[in-house]
């Protein structure tokens, strides 16, 4: 059990998978939460997303600073704060939830910022500060406050904050892992991933989050549409067709495609002022981009290690397909009289996908931690 607390990704990736499977139950079990709509939204975004962010950032931190990973009491304290936030959210929105919910993000952000500043790893400061911004948004959502009188503004901004993190993390990880696999296999093809484009896309997404909080939806929509188109175009230079030969890479590329599509849909819906389309677009970002990218990255800790590459077990690939299908149903399937309820169908597919993820992750939790955690080899630009 002691080894479990020496690797930050283990408790947090486990919690992310467990909570991803639990949160949709609000739609399937009446009375599970005081406010099912709030609890479902809040817990998938800040519960699942918060645990996954903590697992990844704490796993990547030693590579940024050259210091050992945080474990033991520090890690247990962060997990305790995360659990306390989950309890606070059960009662719905209000001041108690607003005070308790952001404590985990505040502690995580301060820890990351302290270590990054001590190591003078200034290039990583935006990712270290991201949990602090998420904590402020969590307090706003949990408190039930509506900036500018728009109750959807803060949840939208939070989804975009996670999207900006995907732009920074995924924008490095997907091409880096693809380049490493192509080199190992001796396959032709150049992977081009200029770092300034990742920073530009993240900046556009963050600017759009600020504009949507201010109520400037048309301007925010234009920025998001531009960011989405940029992300889709970038992927064309990452050899996505060749990457399909690796299950591990195919999942990452599929998640990145959801990222670009979600931003494009969100931008179009905001610019048009279409409330229904905005709801679908947010699900494309949260269920589609966040869900699949978390599963694809966290799932690498459970993959089979082969010389120079990771192989995805079939159960993990099934989980990815089910989560992708859940997002597609929620975004694209309209309600039809006498037909299946798309919300319930999506919830069932989603839960099945995360149960498959947990089945793949479980055996890896009891074995000695292998580093690097998320790759089989570490070329100079590998993120973790």
Could you list the residue range(s) of the whole structural domain that residue 125 is in? 1-145
Position 377 scores a pLDDT of 62
Q: Are residues 9 and 138 in the same domain?
A: yes
Position 379 scores a pLDDT of 42
Q: Are residues 165 and 194 in the same domain?
A: yes
Q: Are residues 189 and 132 in the same domain?
A: no
Q: Are residues 198 and 238 in the same domain?
A: yes
Boundary of a domain, candidates 87, 113, 145: 145
Angle subtended by helix axes 49-65 and 103-119, to nearest 10? 10
How do residues 283-331 score in pLDDT, each as one tens digit?
999 999 999 999 999 999 999 988 888 999 999 999 999 999 999 999 9
CA angle 58, 61, 63 (to 5 degrees): 135
Q: Are residues 119 and 232 in the same domain?
A: no
Q: Are residues 357 and 384 in the same domain?
A: yes
Report how far Cα 285 is from the mean position of its chain's Cα atoms: 9
Q: Are residues 219 and 88 in the same domain?
A: no
276 by Cβ neighbours in 10 Å (0-12 / 13-18 / 19+) ranks as exposed
Q: Taking the model in full, what pTM does it have?
A: 0.93
Q: Are residues 64 and 195 in the same domain?
A: no
Distance (Å, whole) CA 322 – CA 319: 5
Q: Are residues 302 and 357 in the same domain?
A: yes
Boundary of a domain, candidates 129, 145, 161: 145
Q: Are residues 13 and 124 in the same domain?
A: yes
User: Which residue in this structure is represented by tokens 């609000």?
Assistant: 26
Taking 50 as the pLDDT cut, the residues of the chain under it are 378-382
Position 355 scores a pLDDT of 98
Q: Are residues 120 and 215 in the same domain?
A: no
**How many distinct structural domains can be found in the chain?**
2
Q: Are residues 188 and 99 in the same domain?
A: no
Distance (Å, whole) CA 234 – CA 175: 10
Position 341 scores a pLDDT of 87
């Amino acid at each position: 059990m002691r080894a479990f607390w020496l690797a930050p990704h283990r408790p947090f990736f486990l919690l992310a998978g467990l909570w991803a499977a639990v949160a949709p139950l609000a739609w399937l079990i009446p009375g599970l939460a005081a406010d099912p709509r709030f609890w479902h939204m809040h817990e998938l975004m800040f519960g699942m997303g918060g645990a996954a962010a903590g697992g990844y950032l704490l796993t990547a931190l030693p590579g940024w600073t050259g210091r050992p990973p945080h474990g033991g009491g520090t890690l247990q304290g962060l997990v305790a704060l995360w659990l306390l936030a989950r309890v606070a959210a059960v009662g719905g929105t209000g001041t108690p939830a607003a005070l308790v919910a952001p404590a985990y993000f505040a502690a995580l952000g301060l820890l990351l910022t302290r270590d990054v500043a001590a190591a003078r790893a200034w290039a990583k400061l935006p990712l270290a500060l991201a949990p602090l911004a998420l904590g402020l948004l969590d307090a706003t959502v949990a408190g039930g406050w509506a900036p500018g009188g728009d109750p959807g503004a803060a949840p939208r901004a939070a989804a975009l904050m996670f999207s900006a993190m995907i732009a920074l993390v995924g924008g490095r990880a997907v091409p880096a892992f693809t380049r490493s696999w192509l080199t190992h296999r001796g396959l032709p093809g150049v992977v081009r991933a200029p770092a300034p484009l990742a920073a530009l896309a993240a900046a556009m997404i963050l600017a759009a989050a600020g504009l949507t909080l201010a109520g400037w939806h048309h301007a925010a929509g234009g920025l998001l549409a531009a960011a989405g188109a940029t992300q889709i175009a970038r992927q064309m230079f990452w050899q996505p067709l060749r990457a399909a030969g690796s299950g591990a890479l195919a999942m990452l590329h599929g998640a990145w495609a959801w990222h670009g599509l979600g931003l494009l849909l969100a931008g179009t819906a905001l610019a048009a002022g279409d409330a229904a389309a905005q709801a679908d677009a947010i699900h494309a970002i949260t269920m589609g981009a966040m869900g699949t990218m978390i599963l694809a990255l966290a799932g690498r800790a459970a993959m089979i290690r082969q010389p120079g590459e990771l192989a995805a077990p079939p159960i993990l690939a099934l989980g990815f397909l089910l989560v992708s299908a859940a997002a597609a149903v929620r975004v694209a399937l309209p309600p039809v009289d006498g037909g299946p309820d798309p919300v319930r169908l999506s919830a069932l597919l989603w839960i099945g996908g995360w149960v498959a993820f947990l089945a793949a992750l479980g055996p890896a939790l009891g074995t000695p931690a292998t580093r690097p955690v998320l790759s089989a080899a570490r070329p100079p630009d590998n993120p973790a």
